[in-house]
Amino acid sequence: MGGAFGKRKVQILVVGLDNSGKTSIINALKNEKNATVAPTVGFNKDSVEKFNLNFQFSDMSGQNQYRGMWEQYATKIDGLIFVIDSSDKIRFGIALDEFKLLLETQGFNKDLPILVYANKQDSPDAQNPQFFIDYFELKKYKNPSQCFGGSAKTGVGLDQGLEWLSAKIQQVKPK
Ligand SMILES: Nc1nc2c(ncn2[C@@H]2O[C@H](COP(=O)(O)OP(=O)(O)OP(=O)(O)O)[C@@H](O)[C@H]2O)c(=O)[nH]1
Ligand SMILES: [Mg+2]
């Protein structure tokens, strides 16, 4: 792993409701904060080298008609990123339902590290990460998990989250 052959490649599934900011977060992690975004159709592949790993992102569409794809892609991955629009209070319940549906899918890997981004912290009515730790009952799952507040608009908080994920993945044995 690493050295002359480059950083270890890890597969990351990025999910969350439409408009939560998944594509914007990936752009910001790549320092492309001002890239224009459009709703993702199906999914996009993207990658970034950071924190000693080569992250291969599968950036899924969050639109209702595509959410069934999430669980198909949830096998053979090294980490999961779940993105929430922290200001979209009306849809917190739907985000929670989709989160539970995925984690409670039969065969879902209970060792998989889960990074939750409470995105859009720049918004004045955003809920903080602790709110989502409680609301999503993160502690009730065996998976290592953590919620980080972040903003794809300002870039705040995103690296801290990815650094946590990198550390957790490197603690788990490679597949
Ligand atoms: N204020 C604010 N707006 C954001 C932030 N992140 C994303 N947005 C905006 O939210 C909208 C949706 O962003 P996307 O990145 O396309 O969201 P997505 O989760 O990829 O959406 P789908 O691909 O449809 O599932 C865009 O208008 C972004 O500019 C943020 O941190 N703060
Ligand atoms: Mg998208």
Distant-in-sequence, close-in-space partners of 4: CB < 8 Å, separation ≥ 6:
none
> What is the best residue among 19, 58, 117 to mutate for testing ligand 1's pocket, by most ligand atoms within 8 Å of CB?
19
Which-ligand-closest: CA of 17?
Answer: 1
Q: Is 26 helix (H, G, I), strand (E, B) or coil?
A: helix
Which-ligand-closest: CA of 123?
Answer: 1
Distant-in-sequence, close-in-space partners of 75: CB < 8 Å, separation ≥ 6:
107, 109
Assembly ipTM = 0.99
Distance between Cα 111 and ligand 1 center (Å): 29
Is the beta carbon of 166 within 6 A of some atom in ligand 1? Answer: no
- Smallest CA separation from ligand 1 atom 17, residue: 21
Within 11-115, where are the H helices?
22-29, 68-73, 92-103
**Binding site, annotated residues for GTP:** 16-23, 62, 119-122
Is the beta carbon of 120 within 6 A of some atom in ligand 1? Answer: yes
Query: 């549906």: which residue's tokens?
Result: 101
DSSP per-residue codes, 34-50: T----PPSSEEEEEEEE
The DSSP symbol for 65 reads G
**CA separation for the pair 76, 34 (Å, rounded):** 32
Is the beta carbon of 87 within 6 A of some atom in ligand 1? Answer: no
**How do the pLDDT tens digits run along the chain, 175 residues long?**
545 578 999 999 999 999 999 999 999 999 987 789 999 999 999 999 999 999 999 999 999 999 999 999 999 999 999 999 999 999 999 999 999 999 999 899 999 999 999 999 999 999 999 999 999 999 999 999 999 999 999 999 999 999 999 999 999 765 5
Q: Torsions phi, psi of 136, nearest 5?
A: -90, 0
**CA separation for the pair 143, 48 (Å, rounded):** 24
Q: What angle do CA 168, 173, 175 make, to 5 degrees?
A: 115
Domains of the chain: 3-171 (3.40.50.300)
Is the beta carbon of 161 within 6 A of some atom in ligand 1? Answer: no
